[in-house]
């Protein structure tokens, strides 16, 4: 005959069994839900590519593809419009180069300090503070470049125009520093301490260990962070839209106003071109070119990361 205590235990076991069944049922549906979310992301990407490709085809039915990729003049709204993309490509490449000249050395030095020299207390404080830079809206960076950096630079470079490529390039570099520093620091921190201890045991100094052991061991992650930084700079919009101007100059003079691919897209979508016109379709051709650039950078970062990855 069951006692009250045995009855309570039986009820408890039954409740546990029911909870287990419900948990198993939830876990059975979890992979389905995750698959659907993944499928949604893939479908969204495919939809974007299809729209870009179809509208780009419509543009190239009106403008020869050779003229688009080899033309040095871009006058989409003139009486005799010309659609050479080289001024936009040059502006994008130059602004990205300026940004990386600023971001790579500062980002790597910051990563080296956080990984090899900073104490645990300082690292807990400095890394979140550094990553706050990544949370600042890019439009704020754009106004900072236009209202502060450009006037300061004009004190040193009198020929610098009010809108130019140098100022937004520098500010883009500042914006990218957290990305390069954080990813590079993670790569350096993943290097086993046994390698450091072995080098110290052989009489190496802190600088020698960093330069000859840690950086070579983390090189794949460092290069991948730089390539991702380049991709981020190529796709930046608001900084160059505000501070670099809308002049479609084909020049290497970074003190002049120039336009990037992203800034051109903003200009066209601002209402200057009605739907169905050649100018309207040109933004899709530029967007497709930008998409290919960014995709190539991301694929290069993945290849470098896998090709030179060190296994410990």
Contact assessment for residue 165 and residue 258, using Cβ atoms and an 8 Å cutoff: yes
Q: Give the pLDDT confidence score for residue 45 in this predicted structure.
A: 86
Residue-wise pLDDT for 263-277, tens only, equals: 888 888 876 667 778
Q: Answer yes or no: are the C-beta atoms of 284 and 52 closer than 8 Å.
A: yes
Q: Minimal CA–CA distance to 166: which of 228, 251, 225, 85? A: 251
Report the C-alpha gap between 295 and 200 in whole angstroms.
42
- What is the biggest distance separating any 2 CA atoms in the chain, rounded to whole angstroms? 101
Q: Residue 82 in 3-state DSSP?
A: strand
222 vs 303, residue with greater confidence? 222
Contacts 24+ apart (CB under 8 A), 73-79: 73/248, 73/250, 74/248, 74/264, 75/248, 76/268, 76/273, 76/278, 76/279, 76/282, 77/272, 77/273, 77/279
pLDDT digits (tens, 9 = 90+) for 60-94: 888 888 888 888 888 887 778 888 889 999 999 99
Query: What pLDDT does residue 2 have?
Result: 46
| C-beta separation of 232 from 92 below 8 A | no
The two structure tokens encoding residue 191: 């290097």
What distance in Å separates the CA atoms of residue 82 and residue 288, rounded to the nearest whole number?
Answer: 18
Region of poorest pLDDT, from 34-48, 132-146, 196-210: 196-210
Q: Give 227-248 pLDDT, tens digit per residue.
A: 888 888 888 888 998 888 888 8
Residue 292 has φ and ψ, to the nearest 5°, of -65, -40
* Lowest mean per-residue pLDDT among 24-28, 153-157, 257-261: 24-28
What average pLDDT is seen over the chain?
Answer: 84
First to last CA, the chain: 62
Q: Is the dihedral of CA 270, 274, 275, 281 positive or negative?
A: negative
The helix (run of H) or strand (run of E) holding residue 302 is: helix 278-307
138-177 pLDDT per residue, tens? 889 999 999 999 999 998 988 888 889 999 999 999 999 9
- The SS3 call for residue 164 is coil
> How many angstroms separate the CA atoms of 235 and 262, rounded?
7
Question: Residue 310's pLDDT is what?
Answer: 63
pLDDT at res. 176? 92
The CA distance from 14 to 11, in Å, is: 5
Q: Select from 101, 92, 116 the least CA-distant residue to 215.
A: 116
In sequence order, the 6+-apart residues with CB closer than 8 A to the CB of 221 are: 183, 184, 186, 187, 188, 190, 305
Q: Which residue has the higher pLDDT, 15 or 149?
A: 149
């Amino acid at each position: 005959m069951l006692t009250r205590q045995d009855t309570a235990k039986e009820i408890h076991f039954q409740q546990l069994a029911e909870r287990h069944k419900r948990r198993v049922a939830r876990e059975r549906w979890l992979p389905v839900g995750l698959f659907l979310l993944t499928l949604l992301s893939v479908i969204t990407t495919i939809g974007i590519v299809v729209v870009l490709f179809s509208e780009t085809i419509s543009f190239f039915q009106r403008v020869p593809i050779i003229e688009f990729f080899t033309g040095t003049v871009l006058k989409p709204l003139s009486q005799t419009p010309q659609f050479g993309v080289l001024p936009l490509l040059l502006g994008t490449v130059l602004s990205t180069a300026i940004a990386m000249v600023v971001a790579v050395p500062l980002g790597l030095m910051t990563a080296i300090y956080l990984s090899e020299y900073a104490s645990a207390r300082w690292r807990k404080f400095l890394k979140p503070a550094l990553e706050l830079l990544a949370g600042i809206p890019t439009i704020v960076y754009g106004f900072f470049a236009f209202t502060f950096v450009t006037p300061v630079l004009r004190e040193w470079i009198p020929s610098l125009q009010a809108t130019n490529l140098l100022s937004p390039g520098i500010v883009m570099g500042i914006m990218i520093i957290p990305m390069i520093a954080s990813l590079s620091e993670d790569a350096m921190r993943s290097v086993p301490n046994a390698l450091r201890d072995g080098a110290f045991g052989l009489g190496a100094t802190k600088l020698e260990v960093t330069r000859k052991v840690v950086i070579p061991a983390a090189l794949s992650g460092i290069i991948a962070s730089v390539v991702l930084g380049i991709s981020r700079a190529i796709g930046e919009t608001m900084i160059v839209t505000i501070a670099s101007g809308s002049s479609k100059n084909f020049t290497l003079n970074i003190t002049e106003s120039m336009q990037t691919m992203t800034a051109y897209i903003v200009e066209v979508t601002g209402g200057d071109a009605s739907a169905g016109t050649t100018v309207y379709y040109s933004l899709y051709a530029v967007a497709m070119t930008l998409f290919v650039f960014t995709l190539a950078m991301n694929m290069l970062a993945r290849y470098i990361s896998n090709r030179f990855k060190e296994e410990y």
